[in-house]
Amino acid sequence: MNSKYLQKLFILSVVLSFMSCKVKQQEAPVAPPKIVEVTTSEINEENPYIEELKQPGYQTNFDAYFKSHTPSKVEIPYETEEEYQARMQWWKDAKYGMFIHWGLYSILGGEYNGEVTPKIAEWIQNTLKIPASEYKKLVDQFNPTEFDADEWVSVAKEAGMKYMVITSKHHDGFALFNSKVSEYDVMSTPFKRDIIKELKEACDKQGIKFGLYYSHAIDWDSPNAYIGEGQLQDRMNLVDFDPSTMDRATYLKEKSFPQLREILTNYGTIDIIWFDMGKGLDNEEIREFVKITRELQPNIIISSRIGDEVGPTSLNKDLYFDFFTPSDNYFTGDDLAIPFEMAGTTNGSWGYRKDDTEWRKPLFMLNALIASASRNGNYLLNIGPMANGLMPAEPVKNLKIAGAWLKENGASVYGTTPSPFPWNYDWGYVTEKPNKIFLNVFTWPKNNQIDLNGLLTKVDKIHLLGSTKQVKFKQEGRFLTIDLTGVERKEFATPLVVEYKDTKLKIDDGISQNAENNIRLDRITSTYLKDIAMSSWTFKVHTPGTFKINIVSNEKGNHHKPVWTGSEQKGSVQVAGKIIPAHLKRDTEMINPTLFFYKEIGSYVGEIEFLKAGTYTLQLKGFKVGADKWTEGLGLERIELIKE
Ligand code: JFZ
- Nearest CA residue ID for atom 17, ligand 1: 328
> 344 C-alpha vs ligand 1 centroid, how far in Å?
10
Question: pLDDT higher for 145 or 24?
Answer: 145
| 590 and 474 share one domain | no
**Which residues surround ligand 1 with Cβ inside 6 Å?**
120, 122-123, 276-277, 309-310, 327-328, 343, 350, 630
Lowest mean pLDDT among 230-239, 451-460, 523-532, 533-542: 523-532
Please report the pLDDT score of residue 115 as a whole number.
Answer: 98
Domain presence at residue 340: yes
Please report the pLDDT score of residue 126 as a whole number.
Answer: 98
Element (H, E) at 248: helix 248-251
Domain presence at residue 66: no
Domain presence at residue 68: no
Residue 37 in this model has a pLDDT that exceeds 50: no
| 210 and 310 share one domain | yes
CA angle 192, 196, 198 (to 5 degrees): 75
| 557 and 626 share one domain | yes
Domain presence at residue 4: no
> 123 C-alpha vs ligand 1 centroid, how far in Å?
10
Residues in the chain: 644
Q: What is the CATH number of the domain that holds 619?
A: 2.60.120.260
Evaluate whether 293 touches 310 at the Cβ level (below 8 Å). no
| Ligand 1 atom showing the smallest separation from residue 329 Cα | 20
Domain presence at residue 459: yes
Neighbours of 531 (CB within 10 A): 12
> 584 C-alpha vs ligand 1 centroid, how far in Å?
31
Neighbours of 197 (CB within 10 A): 17
| Ligand 1 atom showing the smallest separation from residue 343 Cα | 9
Q: Using 50, 70 and 90 to split pLDDT, how confident is the model at 15?
A: very low
Measure CA 177 to chain center: 29
Please report the pLDDT score of residue 39 as a whole number.
Answer: 32
User: Is 380 strand, coil or helix?
Assistant: strand
Domain count, the chain: 3
> 351 C-alpha vs ligand 1 centroid, how far in Å?
11
| 168 and 273 share one domain | yes
Evaluate whether 426 touches 4 at the Cβ level (below 8 Å). yes
| 527 and 574 share one domain | yes
> 305 C-alpha vs ligand 1 centroid, how far in Å?
9
Measure CA 190 to chain center: 38
End-of-domain residue from the set 509, 531, 548: 509
Residue 72 in this model has a pLDDT that exceeds 60: no
Domain presence at residue 25: no
Lowest mean pLDDT among 22-26, 111-115, 120-124, 403-407: 22-26
> 460 C-alpha vs ligand 1 centroid, how far in Å?
46
Of 424, 642, 618, give the one whose Cα is nearest residue 539: 618
Q: Using 50, 70 and 90 to split pLDDT, how confident is the model at 314?
A: very low
CA distance 420 to 498: 13
| 186 and 246 share one domain | yes
Domain presence at residue 214: yes
CA distance 196 to 166: 8
Q: What is the pLDDT of residues 365-387, one digit of tens each?
A: 999 999 999 999 999 999 999 99
Please report the pLDDT score of residue 495 as a whole number.
Answer: 98
Of 226, 291, 233, give the one whose Cα is nearest residue 264: 291
Q: What is the pLDDT of residues 132-174, one digit of tens each?
A: 999 999 999 999 999 999 999 999 999 999 999 999 999 999 9
In a mutational test of the pocket of ligand 1, which residue from 277, 325, 630 has the highest number of ligand atoms less than 8 Å from its CB?
277
> How high does pLDDT run on average in the chain?
87
- Nearest CA residue ID for atom 20, ligand 1: 327
Q: What is the pLDDT of residues 324-368, one digit of tens each?
A: 888 889 888 876 667 899 999 999 999 999 999 999 999 999 999
End-of-domain residue from the set 412, 439, 456: 412
| 167 and 312 share one domain | yes
Evaluate whether 343 touches 328 at the Cβ level (below 8 Å). yes
Of 310, 316, 300, 229, give the one whose Cα is nearest residue 263: 300
Residue 421 in this model has a pLDDT that exceeds 90: yes
End-of-domain residue from the set 482, 509, 536: 509
- Nearest CA residue ID for atom 16, ligand 1: 328
Residue 49 in this model has a pLDDT that exceeds 90: no
Q: What is the pLDDT of residues 485-494, one digit of tens each?
A: 999 999 999 9
In a mutational test of the pocket of ligand 1, which residue from 125, 166, 274, 328 has the highest number of ligand atoms less than 8 Å from its CB?
328
Question: pLDDT higher for 44 or 249?
Answer: 249
CA distance 241 to 254: 17
Residue 475 to residues 53, 231, 450, 472, 481, Cα–Cα distance (Å): 46, 56, 12, 10, 6
Give percent of the chain above pLDDT 70: 86
Question: Is 420 buried (19+), middle (13-18) or exposed (0-12) by CB count in 10 A?
Answer: middle
- Nearest CA residue ID for atom 18, ligand 1: 327
Evaluate whether 565 touches 635 at the Cβ level (below 8 Å). yes
Global pTM value: 0.89
| 137 and 269 share one domain | yes
| 610 and 634 share one domain | yes
| Ligand 1 atom showing the smallest separation from residue 629 Cα | 20
Say which residues have a Cβ less than 8 Å from residue 429's Cβ, sequence separation at least 6.
3, 370, 371, 373, 374, 419, 439, 440, 442
User: 417 — phi, psi (to 5°)?
Assistant: -110, 165
Measure CA 78 to chain center: 29
Q: Using 50, 70 and 90 to split pLDDT, how confident is the model at 527?
A: confident
* Residue 187, domain extent: 81-412
Domain presence at residue 276: yes
- How does DSSP assign 547-574, residue by residue? EEEEEEEE-BS-TTS-B--GGG--EEEE
Please report the pLDDT score of residue 309 as a whole number.
Answer: 58
| 378 and 433 share one domain | no
| 433 and 363 share one domain | no
Q: Which residues of 261-273 are buried (b: 16+ CB within 10 A; e: fewer)?
A: ebbbebbeebbbb
| 503 and 547 share one domain | no
Q: What is the CATH number of the domain that holds 473?
A: 2.60.40.1180
